Each structure stands twice: as structure tokens, then as C-alpha cells.
């Protein structure tokens, strides 16, 4: 059994080879590792290999690494951002600077379609990357994710306490809804802008793939056609680890 692990700034996600065949993804908060995974991982059959993609600090990775060594006597392999892999060329000036989660999402997206693509990952940050029909990553942007967006406002203003908001149209009529709607509208409008820019550049069809913890929420409000793929990063990790492409 192979275990694939994606450590983001908010959540740790994991899946076995079998889980990925049927789009199952498990998750826990990534703030308290390894305690957050211990209960679930102790129930797993001992894996023959563990592959990790992490955008967290090295001491967090190190704690998980020693848990894995202690319980399963194996040393996990860490994914890395590359210059060229699975038909995708990294567009960053310094390729290694691109987050490994973004890189893996790109190679998984390329395995899904050879059309030009916008790849959106809605997590702690929302990243939006563009890739042309030749698999060239053109570049992308980083926005605060939906939660961070609201958190930033609370941290930097004396905005009075507010309850949960709802999204109606663009014109919210209470504080909570104004903040939530602001975050969603800002992100959707940005995705749409990059989509249209790529469409004009490529002069043809473009597809949009959305992943990450807030994918469904954002997707509900996106006006461009799109597809939600929850396990995009884990599928990229699986590809980098040497497994063949899967038709998702
Ligand atoms: N059950 C859930 N538990 C925690 N966060 C969730 C859940 N469902 C959706 N979310 C949202 O997903 C976000 C985390 O998404 P994720 O892609 O895992 O982020 P990251 O890769 O940065 O860890 C959270 O900020 C939250 O808004
Ligand atoms: C942009 C990110 C913080 C996103 O992290 P996430 O929301 O998945 O936790 C991460 O991909 C990262 O640290 N990237 C390095 C900088 C870059 O990609 O340019
Ligand atoms: K992200």
C-alpha cells in the first residue's frame, strides 16, 4: 500500500492508492502534527511507501517524518517542484520557488486535459495558475484564501463582531455577508479575469479546474465553466512518485 500526503497551511490531506481510485480523501488540521493524524493513521495497514508534498515549515515535516519512521520503519519521500515533468514546463523565473502543491496540481491537471487551463487551488491561500496547450505554465497569482481574507479584516480593523454571513447577490446588507461576499466575489472575478486573459492569449477553448478545501464554495459562484477535482494535488503526487496516469 502506498500512502500519499499533502500538508497545506491549514489541513493535512491523505489518501492511499485505493482511495485515489475512488476519489476518497481524508483530512485533519495541520497545526498539530503528528497528533492530528495519529488516531487515523494507527488504523492504517503499514504502507510500503509514503510520499509527502508539504508547503509547511521543515520542523513540522520533521515531526511527521519521525512519527512515520517510528511506527512504520520507513523514510518518506518528499515531493519537489521541478522544471519539467509529465509534459509541464515550470514558468517561474526560479522554478524551485513555485509551491510544490501548485506544481503537483499543474501536472495532475495536464494529465486530465491537454487544453489550455486555469488551475485554481482554494486553500489557506487561493492560487490561480495558467498553463497553455503545450503544457507551458505561464505563471499565476496568490490571493488570501477565503478564511484568511476575513481574518485579515478582523486583525486590521475594529470591525464590530459579526455572526455568520450569507451570499445572495453582490450587494450585501449586513457586515458578515459583506465580508463573505467580498471574499467570494473578489476571488471569482479574479479567476474569471485570468480565464478570459488566457482565452484571448490562446485564441480557443480553455478549461478551469478547481481544487482545495473551499473549491465547492468558490465553484458555486464561478461564472466560467469549470470542474472541481478534490484530489488534484494528491494525484500530482502520485504521478511524481512514478505511478502511471489515471483517467479522472
Ligand atoms: N471540514 C473542513 N475542515 C477544515 N476546513 C475546511 C473544511 N471544509 C472546508 N474547509 C475550508 O478549507 C480550507 C483549507 O483548504 P485546504 O485546501 O486544505 O488548505 P491548505 O492546503 O492551505 O491546508 C479552510 O481554510 C476552510 O475554509
Ligand atoms: C501559495 C502557498 C502559500 C499556498 O499554500 P496553501 O494555501 O495550499 O496552504 C504555497 O503554495 C507556497 O508557499 N508557495 C510558495 C510561493 C509560490 O508559489 O510562489
Ligand atoms: K492553495
pLDDT, tens only, 104-141: 999 999 999 999 999 999 999 999 999 999 999 999 99
Any idea what the Cα angle at residue 128 is, between residues 204 and 157, rounded to 5°?
A: 140
Amino acid 245: pLDDT = 60
Among candidate residues 18, 101, 205, 214, the one labeled active-site is 101
On whether both 139 and 214 belong to a single domain, the answer is yes
On whether both 181 and 229 belong to a single domain, the answer is yes
What is the ipTM score, two decimals?
Answer: 0.95
CATH code assigned at 180: 3.30.420.40
E strand or H helix that includes residue 105: helix 100-112
**Dihedral angle of Cα 119, 122, 127, 128, to the nearest 10 degrees:** 30
User: Would you say residue 181 lies in a domain?
Assistant: yes
User: Would you say residue 118 lies in a domain?
Assistant: yes
Q: What are the phi and psi torsion angles at 82 (to 5°)?
A: -120, 170
Contact 142 CB / ligand 2 (< 6 Å): yes
Q: Which domain holds residue 165?
A: 114-240
Amino acid 248: pLDDT = 42
On whether both 176 and 122 belong to a single domain, the answer is yes
Beta bridge partners of 7: 12, 54
Whose CA is closest to atom 11 on ligand 2? 99
Residue 103: CB atoms within 10 A of its CB come to 27
Q: What is the pLDDT of residues 86-101, one digit of tens each?
A: 999 999 999 999 999 9
Amino acid 243: pLDDT = 76
User: Would you say residue 108 lies in a domain?
Assistant: no
On whether both 149 and 220 belong to a single domain, the answer is yes
- Which ligand has an atom closest to residue 104 CA? 2
Domain boundary among 23, 54, 78: 78
- Greatest distance between any 2 Cα atoms in the chain: 57
Q: Which of 7, 127, 236 to mutate to test the pocket of ligand 2 (most atoms within 8 A of CB)?
A: 127
On whether both 124 and 222 belong to a single domain, the answer is yes
On whether both 71 and 142 belong to a single domain, the answer is no
Cα→Cα distances 183→85, 88, 105, 163, 190, Å:
34, 31, 23, 16, 11
Contact 125 CB / ligand 2 (< 6 Å): yes
Relative to beta strand 26-29, strand 11-16 is antiparallel
Q: Structurally, how many domains does the chain consist of?
A: 2
User: Would you say residue 98 lies in a domain?
Assistant: no
Ligand 1 atom with least separation from CA of 11? 23
User: Would you say residue 214 lies in a domain?
Assistant: yes
Domain boundary among 55, 78, 101: 78
On whether both 55 and 120 belong to a single domain, the answer is no
Ligand 2 atom with least separation from CA of 100? 11
On whether both 74 and 118 belong to a single domain, the answer is no
Query: Does 183 show up as a binding residue in the annotation?
Result: no
- Calculate helix-pair angle for 100-112, 232-240, nearest 10 degrees: 90
Instruction: Please identify every stretch of the chain with a pLDDT value under 70, giving residue numbers as ranges.
Output: 244-248
On whether both 122 and 185 belong to a single domain, the answer is yes
Instruction: Say whether 169 is catalytic.
Output: no
User: Would you say residue 184 lies in a domain?
Assistant: yes
User: Would you say residue 121 lies in a domain?
Assistant: yes
Q: Which three cell numbers stand for residue 64?
A: 511527521
Whose CA is closest to atom 7 on ligand 1? 213
Cell 520507513 found at: 74
Which residues line the pocket of ligand 1, CB cutoff 6 A?
A: 8-11, 30, 123-124, 145-147, 212-214
On whether both 70 and 131 belong to a single domain, the answer is no
Query: Which string of DSSP letters, residue by residue, matches 34-54?
Result: THHHHHHHTTSPPPSEEEEEE
Amino acid 61: pLDDT = 84
Amino acid 246: pLDDT = 52
On whether both 71 and 134 belong to a single domain, the answer is no
Domain boundary among 63, 78, 93: 78
Query: Does 209 show up as a binding residue in the annotation?
Result: no
Contact 8 CB / ligand 2 (< 6 Å): yes
On whether both 64 and 138 belong to a single domain, the answer is no
Amino acid at each position: 500500500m502506498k500512502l500519499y500526503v499533502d500538508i497545506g497551511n491549514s489541513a493535512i490531506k491523505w489518501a492511499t492508492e485505493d482511495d485515489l481510485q475512488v476519489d476518497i480523501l481524508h483530512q485533519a488540521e495541520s497545526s498539530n502534527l503528528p497528533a492530528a493524524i495519529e488516531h487515523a493513521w494507527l488504523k492504517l495497514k503499514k504502507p510500503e511507501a509514503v510520499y509527502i508534498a508539504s508547503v509547511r515549515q521543515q520542523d513540522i515535516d520533521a515531526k511527521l517524518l519521525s512519527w512515520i519512521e517510528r511506527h512504520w520503519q520507513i523514510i518518506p519521500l518528499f515531493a519537489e517542484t521541478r522544471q519539467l515533468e509529465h509534459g509541464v514546463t515550470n514558468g517561474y523565473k526560479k522554478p524551485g520557488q513555485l509551491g510544490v502543491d501548485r506544481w503537483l496540481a499543474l501536472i495532475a491537471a495536464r494529465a486530465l486535459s491537454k487544453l489550455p487551463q486555469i488551475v485554481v487551488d482554494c486553500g489557506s491561500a487561493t492560487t490561480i495558475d495558467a498553463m497553455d496547450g503545450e503544457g507551458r505554465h505561464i505563471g499565476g497569482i496568490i490571493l488570501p484564501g477565503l478564511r484568511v481574507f476575513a481574518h485579515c479584516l478582523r486583525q486590521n480593523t475594529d470591525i464590530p463582531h459579526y455572526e455568520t454571513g450569507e451570499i445572495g447577490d453582490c450587494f450585501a446588507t449586513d457586515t458578515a455577508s459583506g465580508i463573505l461576499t467580498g471574499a467570494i466575489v473578489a476571488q471569482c472575478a479574479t479567476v474569471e479575469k485570468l480565464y478570459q486573459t488566457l482565452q484571448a492569449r490562446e485564441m480557443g477553448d480553455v478549461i478551469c479546474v478547481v481544487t482545495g478545501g473551499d473549491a465547492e464554495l468558490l465553484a458555486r459562484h464561478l461564472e466560467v465553466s469549470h470542474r472541481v477535482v478534490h484530489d488534484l494535488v494528491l494525484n500530482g503526487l502520485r504521478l511524481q512518485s512514478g505511478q502511471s496516469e489515471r483517467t479522472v
